[in-house]
Structure 1
């Protein structure tokens, strides 16, 4: 009996085992997840400005979560890297304008490596109970890391910055960009878990599907619940603000080759607005905002530039915030905002604190010069050290210069310093007509909701805008035109929960990722007895 049964059992086991994998099947098994990973990155990119397809982001993470679930760490890194390339290569294409593809692709690859590490972590935690929660924390951990390292970080492309409108946006007022981004990612990963479990055996799906569905819907419900936190009420009256866009004589890196022309353009546009005010065609502004680099001629060492700016301030009859390049007492240049009074001239100043690496300064210049002499085109600017708020005719204005708007701490510092209105003076002429200016405008819109402040965006060449505290755009200019915007905006001093909580939401949410990874490590050690 035993002799006749054993061969039968062996035959049945052999018959139940799959046959050898064909080459086509092996290629398909590897290619399909790789293509899906790239597609998830492309979907995430498409959710960003200039498109307002914010709802694509959760689907991008649903596809990402479905691809990464149950993978080995090495495979998770590879697929995460592919997602990062699908995301950052198109998102950062504007960085290659006028300097070619090498810097653009190098930056995209560097940022994609962070997504690769996130993919490794997400794959590792994907077998934990309620894995979307831990996986979302891992994503936030990767965003927190790349916002700080290397060279003071590069936060551009945080998931939150693709949400200047939509159901998740009010969460920015509750927990800042970390909570906003976490909600989007969690909703996507939860959706991936729903789909995955619905494919499982019926007996295994009921409770698990409900849990996954709850993780999918909870961020959406939280966004709706947080909507009352978003207010546009004027708590201290309104201020009439003029935003000046003078335009530049040429696009690209050589926009400032005619530095005097750039200054003249902004003086001319301010004088034109002053004439309209005098003629009763425009309202008298309480304060005027010029963009970054509106005077690349130091008015403290050039009497002609001083006279032109002073003439414009006197003509408009209001204090002007002037973006200038000046030499400090140590002889090194500063990217400075100068408060210019029509009666007393220049007064308080704010120096840009987060400088753009490879643009305003060159880290490891001698090393990178080995690869290209273009490194010497980068500036030698020195950063500022503290927040400064301008008192402009009774309105407290907090300047946040261009690139700084991507950094949570800089914007928060200006609000905590007492800013009733935020100003983001920028110069996007270097990037011509690329999507960069629209991506930056989306960041400014998210910041408005995060801190409950109107945000003014004066840009040399566009797009300049007036943003309400709820993130909607009240007025905007075109690109490479000379225009002025005049608007009554609410002055606000109350602080949102996000402003009060500061960095703690990010610490907590990134901590979920650390906890999830720690749990995986502990389980593996327990399983091996080590």
Structure 2
């Protein structure tokens, strides 16, 4: 039964994404059809058409990344290139820019292979595009020191369908942390859901967290569901011996995972599945950064990692290293954790900063600013590590240019497509008069 419940949301999401991709691809079909009517030649044919197709593709990704219910930016061509030959380009133009360039090269290749165009001149745009991406180096941020992080994957019962009692996750994390007790560290980082008791409502929990921070000689970065008034938040807290004074609340709660939009409707469609989600998390409003001594860390909680604004906001606020906390327990047996790792690696490249990605059940890893993986704790393993990571300063072009690129893709593609259609309409009216 749990397997069926797990597959139903996956099938629903896949179906929705298929529809959105199909609808978005209609604009690309229209572009090819209308451009054919205009019978473009020369530069417009070999460069303009691929650029329009690439912009339309990127614009569709931007739209799907915002709608419905805060969108699903996971499925971006740019993110897939982290293991490709051109990931460094992302530090200049961001993932959306990489999408535009990769799709543009593909569209230029298709354009060059169409009947009547199979010449060396026709293939130059694609070749030049590949060469430009191949020789583009990663934008260089400045090393300003190092930071030692203890990071622990407790492998506790963190999934919706796991058998567990209150406090089991906290005990699993505390137990796994003993492997690195006595080692020097600037911060001890635990994953999303690492504390399954709201510290605000439990004095024993607060006392235990303070004792752990004191025993390890470092602040403890934890995550728990917290309640304030009538609202519930997915909260990361920096806990020290005397408690927590810094909190970051997840900005993008997961629809159908952490809250149910339009619950009245979906309860009628799938009451058993929707009934599993009892808490309704509210979106946070705090900045995704915290200060650990003189070091500023950037934060993202699980699903947050796919949203550009969260990542780049932290960079612009002076984050020198990132700590990503996640819970992959409900995706055991799938490639979701590996996909999330690829996204985390791309974020390291885009921002020029090291990333410590710590999960409840795996995969956890330390990633260098160039996107390479330094250390890994595999799936379904309880373990702890202590890693020294570089601190970086300086804002990559991607960190401030990405919103501009996304806006340009949407506006330019819509504008050009409308212009082409208008010219076709005007031309048809002229021919009719003649």
TM-score, normalization by structure 2: 0.91
Q: Is the 8 A contact 1:143 1:155 kept in 2?
A: yes
Q: Please give the residue correspondences for 1:390-469 in structure 2 after superposition, counting only pairs within 5 Å.
A: 390-469=290-369
Structure 1 Cα separation of the partners of residues 82 and 3 of structure 2? 25
Residue 266 of structure 2 corresponds to 368
Structure 1 Cα separation of the partners of residues 32 and 140 of structure 2? 35
Which of 471-480 and 493-502 deviates more?
A: 493-502
Equivalent residue in structure 2 for 1:218, among 128, 132, 137 = 128
As a proportion of its length, which structure holds more strand? 2
Q: CA deviation at 1:341?
A: 1.5
CA RMSD of aligned residues (A): 1.9
Q: Deviations over 1:118-160 (max 9, x none)?
A: 3211111125323111111110110010000111111111111
Q: Please give the residue correspondences for 1:293-442 in structure 2 after superposition, counting only pairs within 5 Å.
A: 293-328=193-228, 330-342=229-241, 344-373=242-271, 374-378=273-277, 379-442=279-342
Q: Is the 8 A contact 2:94 2:398 kept in 1?
A: yes
Residue 125 of structure 1 corresponds to 31
Residue 244 of structure 1 corresponds to 152
Q: CA deviation at 1:105?
A: 2.0
Structure 1 Cα separation of the partners of residues 95 and 208 of structure 2? 40
Equivalent residue in structure 1 for 2:169, among 262, 266, 269 = 262
Structure 2 unaligned blocks of 5 or more: 36-44
Structure 2 Cα separation of the partners of residues 256 and 456 of structure 1? 28
Q: CA deviation at 1:191?
A: 1.7
Q: Is the 8 A contact 1:173 1:451 kept in 2?
A: yes
Structure 2 Cα separation of the partners of residues 316 and 268 of structure 1? 13
Residue 156 of structure 1 corresponds to 74
Q: Is the 8 A contact 1:137 1:511 kept in 2?
A: no
Q: Deviations over 1:445-492 (max 9, x none)?
A: 001111111111011111011011111111111111111122111111
Structure 2 Cα separation of the partners of residues 121 and 517 of structure 1? 8
Mark the structure with the bigger radius of gyration.
1
Structure 1 Cα separation of the partners of residues 162 and 221 of structure 2? 21
Equivalent residue in structure 1 for 2:89, among 132, 153, 171 = 171
Q: Deviations over 1:23-68 (max 9, x none)?
A: xxxxxxxxxxxxxxxxxxxxxxxxxxxxxxxxxxxxxxxxxxxxxx
Structure 2 Cα separation of the partners of residues 458 and 422 of structure 1? 11
Residue 115 of structure 1 corresponds to 21
Equivalent residue in structure 2 for 1:491, among 353, 376, 391 = 391
Asked if 1:510 corresponds to 2:410, the answer is yes
Tell me which of the two structures has the higher relative contact order, counting C-alpha pairs closer than 8 angstroms and 6 or more residues apart: 2
Distance 1:465 1:407, change over 3 A: same
Structure 2 Cα separation of the partners of residues 215 and 111 of structure 1? 31
Q: Deviations over 1:52-110 (max 9, x none)?
A: xxxxxxxxxxxxxxxxxxxxxxxxxxxxxxxxxxxxxxxxxxxx966243322221121
Q: Please give the residue correspondences for 1:182-193 in structure 2 after superposition, counting only pairs within 5 Å.
A: 182-193=100-111
Structure 1 Cα separation of the partners of residues 111 and 385 of structure 2? 48
Structure 1 Cα separation of the partners of residues 86 and 138 of structure 2? 13
Q: Deviations over 1:316-372 (max 9, x none)?
A: 1001111111111x2321100001123x22110000001100110000101111111
Which of 332-341 and 256-265 deviates more?
A: 256-265
Structure 2 Cα separation of the partners of residues 255 and 347 of structure 1? 32
Structure 1 unaligned blocks of 5 or more: 1-95, 278-283
Residue 31 of structure 1 corresponds to none
Structure 1 Cα separation of the partners of residues 145 and 337 of structure 2? 30
Q: Deviations over 1:412-458 (max 9, x none)?
A: 11111221111110001111131000000100000111111111101
SS in 1 for 2:322: strand
Q: CA deviation at 1:510?
A: 3.1
Structure 2 Cα separation of the partners of residues 370 and 185 of structure 1? 41
SS in 1 for 2:269: coil
Q: Is the 8 A contact 1:319 1:393 kept in 2?
A: no
Residue 41 of structure 2 corresponds to none
